[in-house]
Every structure is written in structure tokens, then in C-alpha cells.
Amino acid sequence: MPTNRITMRQIRETLRLHLQAGLSYGEVARELKISKSAAGKYVSLARAAGVDWAVAQTLSDAELEARLFRPALPRSSHQLAPDFAVVHQELKRAGVTLQLLWEEYAQSNKLAYKYTSFCVKYREWAMGLKRSMRQTHVAGEKLFVDYAGQTVPIVDAATGEITKAQIFVATFGASNYTYACATARQTTADWIGAQVQALEFFAGVPRLIVPDQTRSLIKNPDSYDPQPNRLYEEFAAHYGCALLAARPAHPRDKPKVENAVLVVERWILARLRNRRFFSLGELNQAIALLLLDLNQRAFKKLPGCRRSAFDLLDAPALQPLPSKRFEIFKWKSAKVNIDYHIEYEGHYYSVPHALVRTSVELRVTASLVECFSSNQRVACHPLSHQRGRHTTDPEHMPASHRAHLEWTPQKLIDWGLRIGVSTAAVVTWQLEHRPHPEQGYRACLGMQRLAREYTPARLEAACTRALAIRSPNLKSVTSILKSGLDRQHSLPTTTPGALPVHENIRGPDYFH
């Protein structure tokens, strides 16, 4: 029966304003000067009784009251009790509430519990679950990640050395769907690489990833504002998710993965205890087979299994994976040397020459070395493992160095021939009297400077005299020009332009 303060007229108006006019509970409460909860209660009673506004108009006050406030009937708890395991799973869906589930349950059940009893009995049922299961996790919201305490020995077949593989575990809050794999260690690359594999296993991305505050992932551990390291931040940005590190020494912040670790240790690692593994790949194949069985094992108190719960709850709520897989890399600071190269693991990589004596950041992947200055990428080179060698982009060189790089032995000889036979002979001599022709480039470039300073005609005359005195090097040619000897007509008795015969002089044809 309605209370004395709420009349049948107010109840009827509540139904009209909400069901016909579409006002919210709060707006109905303000209009009729009743509480918001009272407005919601009578609308819920009407829905449970199958009374909409059209039906309510056909009923008298007594008939409407009888429909809404039907007397309690003899009931059997066996007949009335809803499937609270289904209720528990449904609550994990976004937007689903106990109020909605009660309305759906009561609408098709004349012997249904009242809303308050429904809530009380559900909470009593939920108290019988494990602590980690009693938390209500929204579907697709949180992925919990951690490493197991147990390890698995890996035997090196060649040396017999034994290393301990670490076991990574990830599980979803709503479905308990679990992933596990083995890694060599627990480095930053191991942690993030395992999470990349987990997201690919789940074929989607949650809104939050909940890790430990390990130093491999969190640069500034803190109970209230932990800061992930740069690589972990870029991992989260790549996949479009957020990071919510659990507080240190608070295992209840991530009870799902704590329980999943125990399950993996009991149902996977325990079964592998008598096997010998010779590689991580072999171990991961064995884990994958047992993981399939684990995720298909039926729940004891809930309907279905981890796999079916994941397909029903988490999978539809996940964000899609990006088109490109996240690539593990590392950051390193480096100083740009005077030769506009930076050094990484013994190899030298060029950057734009304007950055000489500044510091840049290197982003190193398995195949690339990228250089950043002021958060802008300024250079990119293939990663090289050749120590002591250089990788140089001509675009990074000053204009004078780039011009030097463009010269070849034949190009220099052709330039000399355009001036004269003697100049070409001296150029050839510079290139041939070095262990490598490139070592004569600087002398040849010096001769080009002399041609601009003293004119090509005087350079040709100076080269003729230098050949005559058997001193065809840059120093002699420069001295002849400075002293004006190129203008004297008397020459030593040597045919102009001819080099003395010598087995080490191959002539310009050698460079064709």
C-alpha cells in the first residue's frame, strides 16, 4: 500500500510524467514535491506489474493499487531465486545495474523478490565468492599484468649452462581470460614485449593496463602519482590505452592477476616441472598448449569458462589493435662531434652539421638509429654493428665537404685536361702517389683554388715547370706561382707536360 504521504493521484501523476511525458525521476520529484527515490520506486513497481501509462489510464485507483501493491504470495525460494551467477556476470557489462537486472527478472516472474530483497540476496551470494572475484570489473576495462614467482630452467644444449626463464601473466578483470609466456629476464624490453604479445593474443586493447611498480616500467614509483618511463609511455600511446600502476605493497590493487599467477603456477608450471627445455621457444610452445586447456576449463561458481566469458564480456568492449606492431627501442643521449657525427656502440652516424657540439637523443630499434633534436627527428640511419666505421648522409655535410665528396679520380683528371696537359699530369701524379686516390683529393682541390686565384693559364704554366723539375706536387706548384717562375720562358730540358717514366705512374687511362 502507498504511504499516507503519497496519494494515488501522485502515483498516477508520477507514471504519467515519466512514462508519457518523458521526465526524469528528478524532474518528476520536483514537480510533485516527492523524493526522487519514491518516483523511481513507483515507476519500477509499474514496470514489474506490466503497467504502462496506457494501461494505467484504464484502471481505477483501487485496480491500479492492487496491480502495483499486490499482496505477498506463498513462495518457494527455489522458484523465486534468480540465477545470481548470471546476475554477477551481467553486472560487468557497461551501464548494467542491479535496478535494471531486477526489473528484467521481476517483469517475467510473478513470484519475484522485491527490489530490496533482490539486492540483499545477491550481496549475500556474492560474499560466498573469493575476495578477488567479488570485485565488479567492467568488461574490457582493465588488463592486469605481473610476473610469477616461479621460474623454469632453460638448459643450453651446447654448454649445459642453466638459466631461469621468467613467466609473464596477464588477465582480464571481467572474464579472468588469461595469457602467459616465458621471457629471458624482466627487463623493460621483456616487460613491454610480453605485453605486446598479450594484446595480440587478446586481439584487442583494454582501456587500462595495471602493472606492478617495477623499476623496469616505472621511473618514479609513488603510491599516488607513479610516473612510467618514456618507453612505457610510448607503448601506451601507440595502443591508445592508459596505465594505472598498482600501489607498492598493495596486492589487493591487482587481485585478479595475483590469483591468475597462482592458477598458472598450479595448472601450467606444475605440469611442466619434470620436462627439460632447451630454448624459450620450446618452453613457450608448451605453455601455449596448456594455456588453451586452462582457458577452457569450466568455472566452479560461475557459468561458462574463461574463454566463453571473454567472448561474451571483454572481447566486444576492446579497442582494435593498431595496424602496426609496437617496436621495442631504447633512448640514449649523445654529443655531436666536430665532424658532425655521433657515436653509438663504436659506430659513427652523421647528423646535420649545424648541430656540431650540441646534444641529441638517439632512438635505437633493432634496425634503425634515429636522432632527435628539440623533439624533431633530424637523422635516420640503418643500425650498423661495424665498430670504427662511419655512416654519412651527404645532406648532413657542409657545402664544401659535399663538393669534396662528389669528386672522383676521373672527374678530377677531366678537370685538369680542360686546363691543359701539364695540369692533368700533375693531377694524375697526386692521385697515384697516395696509398688510395681519395687521399690526393685535397691536393687536387688545392689546385682548383690556385686556378681561381692565379688563372688557369698560369696554373698550366706552373704545372709545366713543376714537371720539368720533377716535383709535380701542390707545394711546388704553389711556390712557382707565388714567385712568378711560371712567367719565365726558360725551362729545364724536359718535354713540357711529360712526366718522367716510372713504373708507379699508370697514366689517366687507368681511371677510365
Q: Say if CB 382 and CB 390 are below 8 A apart.
A: no
CA–CA distance, 287 with 282 (Å, rounded to integer) = 9
CA–CA distance, 20 with 445 (Å, rounded to integer) = 94
Q: What is the mean pLDDT of residues 328-336?
A: 91
Rounded to 5 degrees, φ, ψ at 405 are -65, -30
Q: Residue 140 above 60 pLDDT? A: yes
* Residue type at 272 in one-letter notation: L
Kindly report the pTM of this predicted structure: 0.55
CA–CA distance, 387 with 496 (Å, rounded to integer) = 48
196-200, 211-215, 339-343, 474-478: range with highest mean pLDDT: 196-200
More confident residue, 4 or 116: 116
Name the helix (H) or strand (E) containing 403: helix 399-406
Rounded to 5 degrees, φ, ψ at 397 are -85, 150
Q: What secondary structure does DSSP assign to 117-154, as a single string?
A: HHHHHHHHHHTTS-HHHHS---TTTEEEEEEEEEEEEE
Above pLDDT 90, what percent of the chain? 43
Distance of CA 55 to the CA centre of its chain: 58
More confident residue, 110 or 429: 429
DSSP class of 302: S
Contacts of 46 (CB under 8 A, 6+ apart): 15, 19, 52, 56, 68
CA–CA distance, 291 with 275 (Å, rounded to integer) = 16
Grouping H, G, I as helix, E, B as strand and the rest as coil, residue 343 is strand
Distance of CA 363 to the CA centre of its chain: 14
Bridge partners of 151, per DSSP, are 166
In tens, the pLDDT along 266-280 reads 889 988 988 999 999
Q: Say if CB 195 and CB 230 are below 8 A apart.
A: no
Q: Say if CB 486 and CB 480 are below 8 A apart.
A: yes
* Residue type at 8 in one-letter notation: M
Closest CA to 55 of 82, 17, 91, 15: 15
In tens, the pLDDT along 450-473 reads 999 999 999 999 999 999 999 998
